[in-house]
Structure 1
């Protein structure tokens, strides 16, 4: 949050998470950051009994309306509210889309597999083209769940295979995702080796001249390269964070030039 503030970037943080234990930020420093104009309190709205956006005095607020949400009260959405909405919620779209100009579409673009080893059947696939067409579709912005997907799970498990997912721009500026899967996938032993095998494939992929570094270079890629160079296993959670960081970096650069 402090990094967003120091770089004059807006950041929205969900205040009423229902999928994990989350009580917000309580200390004084964070409270000060939350009072800044670049901080956007976000609420997931499910029905009529929601925490009110009017409880927050920030310049901008964000309402998130998912596919199964029953929320449709346009009187609670004003011109300073970002309305992030799943287009498949046709009822909400019809009733809410004219309540604000800050309408943002929300899609789950990640083709999540049941097992990591299943990504071997299709190691490279289209991720998204929403960034190319969202304005034509009448939206102010677009959003997705990066390489996590919309199905949230706080519990980890020992997998036979390790998969690293990397989003990148192709020659047509479409977003694709490449899946790098380990080779030693017969059992759950030695996750560090599995991670190294997957990371080696990633390094070879991004080192290929066909990989456009102008569009796809990132600090996260350099961290991946350093992990591979020193052969350090920092855990699968850290690897996933780097994949998300890379996605943020290349998309941020793309939008900055738009």
Structure 2
């Protein structure tokens, strides 16, 4: 099983929706979403997973974004009409979210934290939960608490080697995307190693593996216009059965002007590379190529969306083979 860990940003959620609607999301891929806002896109994503009867986990103690604030927002009485309508939508989404949490296709996950021990224990009285550890120190802390009464479905751990210590189904979870300071810093001529966790989890008899896809662990709420556009394409090395990644970067990177040209420059390099990798075909890749061939720029967010879609479909194809 593969458990891609995504923050609930718009494009990440739309990537999941696009794969589900087109029947391109393998049943062996179960996303884990750490929601950053109580958006209609987030609610629609949950609804779609329920309709398609496909599993998804939602982190209940999000460490980033404004999700908790959104859940606790109510009308005070001094709002103008625009602000009042915004809050009404949040309340509608909150009610739907509460209903969806009881659905069998919506799993509950928690980031391990001392502060949330009581909440985790209480939640597990009625629900099996997934518990996520970011580092080894948290695991040692968890073992010292003696939480044998917590109803755990699986544990996400940062390294292998815990199979003899933790009596649970284990998922290896780590950041595999080497994020560069700037898009122009990606080495596009390098055929870069991405991950072989698809082999490691089997070798250690784990339930599955997890990573942050092509987004990376770091979280940044602010949006900005980059000097360069980089397209990140993960692919399977047939000889080693491990995943590698290529970065395709624009050339006119001296200012933020003309992102459409930058997209075109990066896509030309991607298409040249694909001439020698004609066996690689996914919905996300097809969407990028379609925009390029029709001389349209989809926007930076959509480039990210289609790259995530490509990655998830590539992994799904391997797991289903």
TM-score range, shorter-chain basis?
0.7 to 0.9
Question: How many angstroms apart in 2 are the aligned matches of 1:138 and 1:192?
Answer: 46
* Residue number in structure 1 paired with 2:245: 177
* Residue number in structure 2 paired with 1:244: 308
Asked if 1:82 corresponds to 2:154, the answer is yes
* Residue number in structure 1 paired with 2:222: 155
Q: TM-score, normalised by structure 2?
A: 0.69
Q: CA RMSD in A?
A: 2.7
1:28 deviates by: 4.6
- Select which of 176, 185, 195 maps to 1:109: 176
Say which SS state the counterpart of residue 134 (structure 1) adopts: helix
Trace 1:96-245 onto structure 2 (pairs within 5 A). Answer: 97-100=165-168, 102-120=169-187, 122-172=189-239, 173-206=241-274, 208-213=275-280, 217-245=281-309
Question: How many angstroms apart in 2 are the aligned matches of 1:223 and 1:77?
Answer: 48
1:241 deviates by: 1.4
1:147 deviates by: 0.9
Asked if 1:7 corresponds to 2:52, the answer is yes
CA displacement 1:123-156 (0-9 Å, x = unmatched): 4211001101212124211111111111111122
**Structure 2 alignment gaps of length 5 or more:** 1-45, 72-89
Task: Tell me, yes or no, if the aligned pair for 2:129 and 2:151 is still in contact at 8 Å.
Answer: no
Give the direction of change, closer, same or farther, for the CA distance of 1:167–1:74 in structure 2 (3 Å limit).
Answer: farther
Question: How many angstroms apart in 2 are the aligned matches of 1:67 and 1:234?
Answer: 37
Q: TM-score, normalised by structure 1?
A: 0.84
Task: Tell me, yes or no, if the aligned pair for 2:188 and 2:247 is still in contact at 8 Å.
Answer: no
Task: Tell me, yes or no, if the aligned pair for 2:184 and 2:249 is still in contact at 8 Å.
Answer: yes
1:58 deviates by: 6.7
**Structure 1 alignment gaps of length 5 or more:** none
Question: How many angstroms apart in 2 are the aligned matches of 1:250 and 1:46?
Answer: 33
Task: Tell me, yes or no, if the aligned pair for 1:61 and 1:80 is still in contact at 8 Å.
Answer: yes
Task: Tell me, yes or no, if the aligned pair for 1:45 and 1:69 is still in contact at 8 Å.
Answer: no
Give the direction of change, closer, same or farther, for the CA distance of 1:19–1:108 in structure 2 (3 Å limit).
Answer: same
Which moved further from structure 2: 220-229 or 24-33? 24-33
Give the direction of change, closer, same or farther, for the CA distance of 1:76–1:202 in structure 2 (3 Å limit).
Answer: farther
1:234 deviates by: 2.6
Which moved further from structure 2: 129-138 or 115-124? 115-124
Task: Tell me, yes or no, if the aligned pair for 2:127 and 2:151 is still in contact at 8 Å.
Answer: no
Instruction: Count matched residues.
Output: 248
Task: Tell me, yes or no, if the aligned pair for 1:77 and 1:99 is still in contact at 8 Å.
Answer: no
Task: Tell me, yes or no, if the aligned pair for 1:97 and 1:103 is still in contact at 8 Å.
Answer: no
Compare relative contact order (CA 8 Å, sep 6+) and give the higher one, 1 or 2.
2
Question: How many angstroms apart in 2 are the aligned matches of 1:163 and 1:193?
Answer: 12
